[in-house]
Structure 1
Amino acid sequence: MSEDGSPTLLRRQLGRFLRERREASGLTIALAAQEVQLSPAALQRLETGRPQKLRKQDVRALCELYEVDPDELEKAVDLAVQAARNPEVTALGGLFSNAFNMYVGMEQSARTLVTYQEQIPGLLQTADYAKATFRAFPGYNSSDDIERRVAVRLRRQAMVTRKSNPLAVEVLLHQSALHRVMGGPRVMSPQLMHLAEVGKLPNVTLRVHPYSAGMTWGFLHGPFVILDFGSDRKGKQVEPPVVYVEGRVSSDLYVEKPDEVQRYHELADAIRVDALDETRTRDLLRQAAREYERER
C-alpha cells in the first residue's frame, strides 16, 4: 500500500483487467460481487486498485465468473500475489501477455499523453515503419510474429483517430528521428508525410525539437511518456498520473511520486521552449520526406 493510500501500479493493472473482463461479461458490479460473495464496495475498490486486503481466491473466483482463459486466470492470480508482496514496484519487465501489458493498459485508459521521443512513436507509425522496427529487433524472427505485432500497433492508433473522445496527444519529437533511417527511403518518405498529416488532427500536437536546441537541462535525458487519466465529474483524479520510461533492453520504469512526475512536466516545458512550432514542424517533415523520395 502506498503511503498516501493511492492505488499502486500492480493493483491498478489488475483492477483494470478485472473491470474489462466484467464489462465484457455484461455484469454489473453489484451482480458480480454477489456471485463471488464480495460487497459491491470491495469489488469497486479492487477494480480501481484502491488499498485493501488482496486475496488470491477473490481474483480466481472473479476470473472464473468472467470465464477468463485458464492461462490468463493464472497470470491474474500471479499478478495479485506480486501486488500484495511488492506493492511499491516501479521497474517492470514485460508483464505477462498482451492482456497484462502494463503500458498498453494505461495508454488505453489515459485522457492525455505527452511524450518526448527520439524515434517515431508507435501511435504515429505507418505499417511499413513499424514492420522495419520489429524486424530490426533480434528477438522477433518469425514473419507471422512481426505481422501480429504490427497489427496490434496499428489497432492501438485507433484511440488517436477515433471520432468519439480521442486521446489527446502531444509529441515532442527530436530532429534525429527524421534521419534515423528505418526500412530505407521508401519507408521514411511516406512515414514523414504521414506525420505531417496526422499532426493536423485537432487532438494531436506535433513539434520537432531541433538539433540547434542542444541538450535540454544540459544532459541527454532520453525518451519519456507522461500519462494523465483525467478527472471525474467531482473533479477528482480518476487515477494518479504516471510517467513511463521504456526499458528497451532492461525493465521498464514507471514513475508515480507526484514530485517526480512534476519534474517530468517541467522537463517537457523546457523542451517546448526550443521546439519548432507546428507549421515549421510540418514544413521540415515534408522537406525531409521529399529528400527521401529523391533517394528511392
Structure 2
Amino acid sequence: MPSSEGPLLHRRRLGAELRRLRGERTLEEVAEATLISTSKLSRLENGQGVPQPRDIRDLVNFYRLDAQIAERLRRWASAGRSQAWWREYSDALFTGLATYVDYESGASTIRSFAAAVVPPLLQTEAYAVELYRVLPAIKTDESARRVLEVRARRQHLLVESDDAPQLIFVLDESVLRRPFGSPDDVREQLDHLHSVSRQRNVSLRVVPFSGGLHAGLVGLFTILQYADDRDRDVVAVESHTGERILEQPSNVLEYLRIFDAITRKALDHDESRALIAEIRDRTTHSPKGTP
C-alpha cells in the first residue's frame, strides 16, 4: 500500500540535503563531474525533479558520502518516486488540492483558520455534500463522490489515527451559525465539532462575534509545519481557483503572526465548546433549525 506521506516531501528533503552537500561548488562543477545536466541538478535541489537511481549513485560517489548518508539519500529518492494514495483520485481533485494534500501528509502541526466554512478535516459528510454543490470546481456527482473519499481518508489519517499530527483550529463564530442542509445536518455538524474538540491532538477555539473585526476575516488559510528541519513550513491559502501554496519564510512568519493575532481574540477551549453546545441546543429548539 502506498505511504500516507507524499513523494513531494521526500523530494524536498533530498533537495535540501543535496544543496547542503554541494556547499560552495557551482552547479556547473557538479554537472561536469557527474554528467548530470545543470537543469536536472537544479530541479533535484529544488525538490521538483523525479530522482533517478543512477543520478543518486553518481552524486553519492562524487560527494564521497559515508554509508549512512548515502542510504538516507537513496531512501528519500525511492520515496520521491513513489505514488501517493491520492494519485488514483487525480482526475477529481481540483487545482492545487493534490499538491496541498502532499504537503499536509507529512506535517507535524497544522494550524487552520476559517472565517466562513468548516475546515475539511472537521466536516461531516452531510456538510461536505452541501458545500460541494456550490463549489464551481466540483462539476459532477461522480467528482463530488471521489473528493468525499479523499476527504474521508485525510480525516482518518490526520484526525483519527494514533500518530496524527497536532491540529489547531480557530473558527469565526459565523462558521457555526451558517445554515445548510436540514436541521439534523446542522446539529450533526455541531455535535461533531464538539466531540472532535476533545481529542488529544485537537485544539479548537472560536472567535466570537463580540471580538469584533479581526485579521482573519479575509478567508481560510492553513499553516503546515514540519518536525524535520529540512522541511520548510508552508502556508496554503484557499480561493475559488484552488489552493495557493506560499513557501517563502517571510510569508509563513506573517501568517503565523496573523494566526496568533486571531487566536488572542478567541474564546478558550472550554468556552468554545460551551458556545458550540449553546448554538446546537438553540438549533434543536428552533422550529426551522436555524443556528
TM-score exceeds 0.5:
yes
**Using the alignment, how far apart are the partners of 2:128 and 2:270 within structure 1?**
26
Counterpart of 2:99?
Answer: 102
1:220/1:145 Cα in 2 relative to 1: closer, same or farther (>3 Å)?
A: closer
Match of 2:246 in 1: 255
Cα distance in 2 for residues equivalent to 1:211 and 1:110: 31
Which of the residues 222, 225, 228 maps onto 1:225?
Answer: 222
Point out the structure with max Rg over C-alpha.
Answer: 2
The superposition leaves residues 146-191 of structure 1 with CA deviations (integer Å, 9 ceiling, x where unpaired) of 2221121111101233443212100000001012222232211110
Change (3 A) 1:238 1:280: same
Identify if the C-alpha distance between structure 1 residues 37 and 254 changes in structure 2 by more than 3 Å, giving closer, same or farther: closer
Equivalent position of 1:124 in the other structure: 122
75, 97, 111: which one aligns with 1:114: 111
When the two chains are superposed, the root-mean-square deviation of aligned CA atoms in Å is 3.6
Residues 12 and 48 of structure 1 are in contact (CA less than 8 Å); yes or no, is this contact kept in structure 2? no
Q: Secondary structure at the match of 1:136?
A: coil
Give deviations 1:63-103, integer Å, cap 9, x for gaps.
6xx7x7xxx8xx9xxxxxxxxxxxxxxxxx815xx7xx110
Percent identity between matched residues is 27
Contact 2:136-2:240 within 8 A present in 1 as well: no
Distance 1:207 1:12, change over 3 A: farther
Measure, in 1, the Cα distance between the counterparts of 2:126 and 2:260: 32
Match of 1:170 in 2: 168
Look up the match of 2:236.
Answer: 244
Say if 1:111 and 1:229, in contact at 8 Å, map to a contact too.
Answer: yes
What letter matches 1:241 in structure 2?
D
Measured after TM superposition, the shift of residue 271 of structure 1 is 1.1
Alignment partner of 1:274 out of 265, 269, 276? 265
Query: Alignment length, in residue pairs?
Result: 231
Alpha-carbon separation, structure 1, partners of 2:58 and 2:180:
51
Partner in structure 2 of residue 213 of structure 1: 211
Q: Find the partner of 1:284 among 261, 270, 275.
A: 275
Aligned residue in 1 for 2:155: 157
Q: Relative to 1, partners in 2 of residues 1:46 and 1:183: Cα closer, same or farther, differing over 3 Å?
A: farther
Normalising to structure 1: TM-score of the pair? 0.67
In structure 2, the residue corresponding to 1:230 is in which secondary structure? coil
- The whole-number CA distance in structure 1 between the counterparts of 2:119 and 2:44 is 23
Distance in 2 between residues matched to 1:284 and 1:255, nearest whole Å? 33
CA contact (8 A) 1:196 1:285 kept: yes
1:140 Cα shift? 3.0
Q: Are the aligned partners of 1:170 and 1:205 in contact in 2 as well (CA < 8 Å)? A: yes
Q: Which amino acid letter does the alignment assign opposite residue 153 of structure 1? A: R
Q: What does residue 181 of structure 1 align with?
A: 179
Q: Partners in 2 of 1:138 and 1:250 — Cα distance? A: 9
Contact 1:13 1:102 in 2 (8 A): no
Give the TM-score taking structure 2 as reference length. 0.68
Question: Per-residue deviation at 1:220?
Answer: 3.6
Gaps of 5+ in 2: 1-14, 21-41, 61-69
Given that residues 208 and 267 in structure 2 are in contact (C-alpha distance below 8 angstroms), is that contact kept between their aligned partners in structure 1? Answer: yes
In structure 2, give the amino acid aligned to 1:263: E
Give 1:41 deviation, angstroms.
5.2
Residue 39 of structure 1 is matched in structure 2 by: 57
Q: What is the Cα deviation at residue 253 of structure 1?
A: 2.2
Describe the shift of the 1:269–1:10 C-alpha distance in structure 2 as closer, same or farther (beyond 3 A): farther
CA contact (8 A) 1:14 1:47 kept: no
Q: Distance in 2 between matches of 1:184 and 1:280?
A: 26
From 116, 135, 141, give the equivalent of 1:143. 141
Return the alpha-carbon distance in structure 1 between the equivalents of residues 242 and 159 of structure 2. 30
Post-superposition Cα deviations, 1:264-291, rounded to whole Å, max 9, x if no partner, equal 1111111111100111111111111122
- 3-state SS of 2:240 partner: coil
CA 1:9–1:174: 2 relative to 1, 3 Å: farther
Q: How far does residue 257 in structure 1 lie from its aligned partner after superposition?
A: 1.8
SS where residue 133 of structure 2 aligns? helix
1:203 deviation in Å?
0.4
